[in-house]
A and B are shown apart, each in its own frame.
Chain A
């Protein structure tokens, strides 16, 4: 991609040069034409004067000397006046008709009496001549004035050059001004580039949009948008790291305290209990780390999900099987309502399985003993994978915060990582699916993954 400046210079400079050349050519042609007309008019005037003069002189001579044929040929030499381009060599021959040469300049080309009057071009002795022949009104005299075309051309060229000369000087000036104008016009862009280049990596404040020309403002707006998104992502990452460190503190504190209790305990029962707690704590910390890594791997900047057809029934069964043990321990009934006929959605089966598992785990955890958790799907609007429980539900003012990382309900004392729903939401986003969290009108809570559409069994 060529620089804007080069493009502008080439386009504007090229156009200027072209227009200039055409103008110069036209000026030359019209100057030539004008010069030719002028010189022709000069010829015409000369012939008229000559004819009048010749007729008058001839008449007088003849009346003085009778009707004798004694005319000597008068030859004459005209001096050149080189100062004026319009002063040209003029040679002429004057006849008294029918064929007597009255007067002839010595440099006149050898040419006979032309039958035709008017302008003509003649080649004689390797030179071209412009000839005007004219008869006087009585038809007794004919004048033929010849002018070498070389001189005429030189005159035309000189005139043309006098017009084109200033234009030739104007051209480099014009190009210079264009160059300066382009430079000046593009200066705000350079300033903008400089401002971006000077920034430190963490300087993510938006660029000043007021200072930029309207042409560049879409670019500035796009840049500012990008800067804002980068700032958001960075902020998110920083907060995430801080939150993660914070969240690891409690399990670490528990591990340390339990280990110290095990060391200090003076009876076997206390020691064994503490050691058991250390192991449980290690498991919990490991689970938290695993969830953190999972969330980090679900980073949307890492690229799109590999989509595969996923059988809903298998996913539901897998989630229920994974949580059957916990449900049994808690005395919660876990059941499944697979859709008929079988339904498939496009997605990453492992991710969808993780999401479903998290939803079922939440439901089982927050449902009191004797409660009931159902897992199922329906295809009324897209594909809804839902998990319903008949637990206490969630306070209305907490619904929006449920998917925040490390958010735990106000009323909840739970051992979860606080990341489950954040992971589910991220997975939903990556699949273009929705996560619907709501209390059920009949009591309890429903969490649903809503995929925009199902795919047919045999694609």
Chain B
């Protein structure tokens, strides 16, 4: 009856989202009066989960599952759910989880609620709050099936420490054949990705040309942030497509989003709305972004950004 949570790791270490979904699973388990079991793949040290309320860890060490494959991971998570007789299974909203979760729903024959932002308002019936209409509204959804699958939005629930003593157990499931083979991966290494970043610094057409991105990268560097851009900027080839954020680009749910020379069109905002704190720097006080932001500076990016970099460097030096 344990609540099962999939805790993702990368190169043997848990991702922050893993700790967030573990925190969420603990809240659900408390509401239901049961325990939390985590499943994880090829993770070196699972003891960290004891800080987030996990009671048992199923660690899968299998060379066939060394790299992510949606169907294989979904199938193994379903086997773990069967073993634990879990009625509630929890995953994150990472790109990998968005890939595997619908497959997992079929394997589990489970009703599925994605983009969930709060602990269930009740567990019987099982009702959760999720975002809908590209973050312009919320939807209260009841899952009626026997087994329930929940994907938690990034940064919505946060980390909640709960100490427990997680027992670790090796789990050796059968692995289905993989029909989708990865041939090559083309990834900028050593850079913070938009999906993982706590802070995202984003530039728009107001920056005039690709040659002006030096200051955006420097600002991102000082903050340990990922860089992003508006759609026209990637369409014009100033920045790679992988940086395009918004409704038709990548979603952003960071703690801080800094928009520089971006007007704040509805399709841009739709993709970044889930960020906690938004800052806009724009010459035009009428730019729609000022209506969506928490903090704003009306000013020329070419003057404001260098000053901001300087002040942040001074601030960081004091820390």
Tell me if chain B binds chain A: no
